[in-house]
Amino acid sequence: MFDCDGLLMDTEPCWTVAETAVFAARGLPYGLAEKARFIGKSVPATVALMAEIFGEVGTEAAIEAEVLSTIEDVIAREAQPMPGALELVAALRGRLPIAVASNSPRAVLDVALARAELADAFGAVVAADEVAVPKPGPDLYLAACERLGVDAARSLAFEDTTTGVAAARAAGMAVVGVPSLDPAGFPADVVLASLADPAVLAWARSL
């Protein structure tokens, strides 16, 4: 099971561009401190936090439309696969059931996977707006397992944020971490610098 943003696709810079634009439209700065508050969050959680910061509580629907329109355009133009992502998916495809469980809404997730030419690579793709509780709740991973017909306790999640790790843990899954931010103390079972790690690709190709 794979997260998408920051794990399969390098969309975090795209989110930074989009979030910076939304902040700038209100004359507000967006730097590392702000980014740390948003990374890994679902869109509803992102929008709720923005509404609070902007003093625009009650206008969440308008903020969400603004954010989604901006991010879809940026991802479609600029997002790139993370190192090793395409190779790892290709190595696993046909050997094991594989899925994507993403905290992005379906529209954004579809744009990202299409940009990487991965739209047809997975047996299941689950987006945040298709479950009751997104990450850090377990719903996304449990839904992906159900669609694949596999046991969560025998499944492996690849995640880049502590929010995603918490979701996978709550679902009862083992976790490989490829941290987007500081790797020190990252709470995964195995922590890698990149999906291009030769040991991971060798493992995938040996199955």
- Active-site residue (options: 3, 10, 139, 160): 3
Q: How far apart are CA 42 and CA 132, in angstroms?
A: 12
Residue with tokens 């923005």: 50
Structure tokens at 160: 């880049």
Q: Which of 5, 10, 139, 160 is catalytic?
A: 5
Residue 73 is a catalytic residue: no
Q: Pull the structure tokens for residue 11.
A: 């969309």
**Helix, strand, coil percentages in the chain from 3-state DSSP, rounded to 5:** 50, 10, 40
7/140 Cα distance (integer angstroms):
16
Check: CB of residue 164 under 8 Å from CB of residue 103: yes
User: Catalytic residue at 151?
Assistant: no
Tokens coding 113 = 């996977």
Which residues belong to the active site?
Answer: 3, 5
